Amino acid sequence: MLRGKQIIYLAHCVLNQNSVVRGWERAQGAFNDIIKVVLDHNISIIQLPCPEFTFLGEERPPKTKKEYDTPEYRKVCEELAEKVIAQMKEYATHGYKILGLIGIEESPSCDTLCSKGIFMEELQKLMERDGIKISTFDISEKYTEGESKEFVQQFKEYIEKLII
- The backbone torsions φ and ψ at residue 2, rounded to the nearest 5 degrees and listed phi first, read -80, -20
Least spacing, CB of residue 163 vs ligand SF4, in Å: 24
Residue nearest to ligand SF4 (CB): 13
Least spacing, CB of residue 52 vs ligand SF4, in Å: 4
The reply to whether 12 sits near ligand SF4 by the rule CB under 6 A is yes
Pick the piece of the chain touching ligand SF4 (CB under 6 A) from 63-71, 101-109, 125-133, 148-156. Answer: 101-109
Pick the piece of the chain touching ligand SF4 (CB under 6 A) from 13-21, 28-36, 79-87, 144-152. Answer: 13-21
Residue type, 34: I
Please list the residues that pair with 135 across neighbouring strands.
100
Distance from C-alpha of 22 to C-alpha of 17, rounded to nearest angstrom:
10
User: What's the alpha-carbon Rg for the chain, to the nearest Å?
Assistant: 15
Name the percent of the chain in helix, strand, coil, to the closest 5. 45, 15, 40
Chain contacts with ligand SF4 (rule: CB under 6 A): 11-13, 19-20, 50-53, 104, 107, 109-110
